[in-house]
Amino acid sequence: MGDRALGSVGLGLAAAYVWQASRIQESFISDPIGPKGFPFIIGGLLALTSLAVLLRPDPPPHWPRPARLLELVAAVAVMVAYALFLPDAGFVIATAIASAYFSWRLGAPAMQAALAGVAIAGGIYLVFHLALGLNLAKGPLGF
């Protein structure tokens, strides 16, 4: 049921996209394809993939046990908390905590998960901030 609804919505979006693309005004100076070519290709691909989903839906999903669903909800909550606390805690601290949690949930013992969190945060900081020069959120420790 869900796949058919998604396919129908996708077909509707593809039709609206192609219709809007057909309304693009062309100037007298343009390349052979014109400004409508790329939007038509995207709309066509969306229509084809939507048709595939509509005509060949997947079998009904096997939903996980409630305990596993709770773990998924907790993982989403950790990612939301990460995004909320990143500006205040800083990249290194927030990433270390989130990485440690996910390492622990993937099966590492608590102490190894904590070390992995620190190593992951430090490694990403070294690569993105020091090597590539990207600005990352500074925390109370200044990095």
Q: Which residue has the higher pLDDT, 3 or 106?
A: 106
pLDDT at site 30: 65
> Strand, helix or coil at 80?
helix
Q: Is the dihedral of CA 44, 46, 47, 52 positive or negative?
A: positive
**Cβ neighbourhood burial of 50 (10 Å; 0-12, 13-18, 19+):** buried
- Contact status, residue 91 vs residue 121, Cβ threshold 8 Å: yes
DSSP 62: -
> Strand, helix or coil at 102?
helix
> What's the CA gap between 47 and 8, in Å, rounded?
10
What mean pLDDT is reported for the chain? 89
Instruction: Answer whether residue 27 shows pLDDT above 90.
Output: no
pLDDT at site 57: 82
Number of other residues whose CB lies within 10 A of the CB of residue 109: 10
| This prediction's pTM | 0.59
What's the whole-number mean pLDDT along residues 87-114? Answer: 95
pLDDT band at 2 (very low <50, low <70, confident <90, very high): confident
Instruction: Answer whether residue 28 shows pLDDT above 80.
Output: no
Give the amino acid at 136: L
Q: Token digits for 135? A: 């600005």
- Contact status, residue 92 vs residue 143, Cβ threshold 8 Å: yes
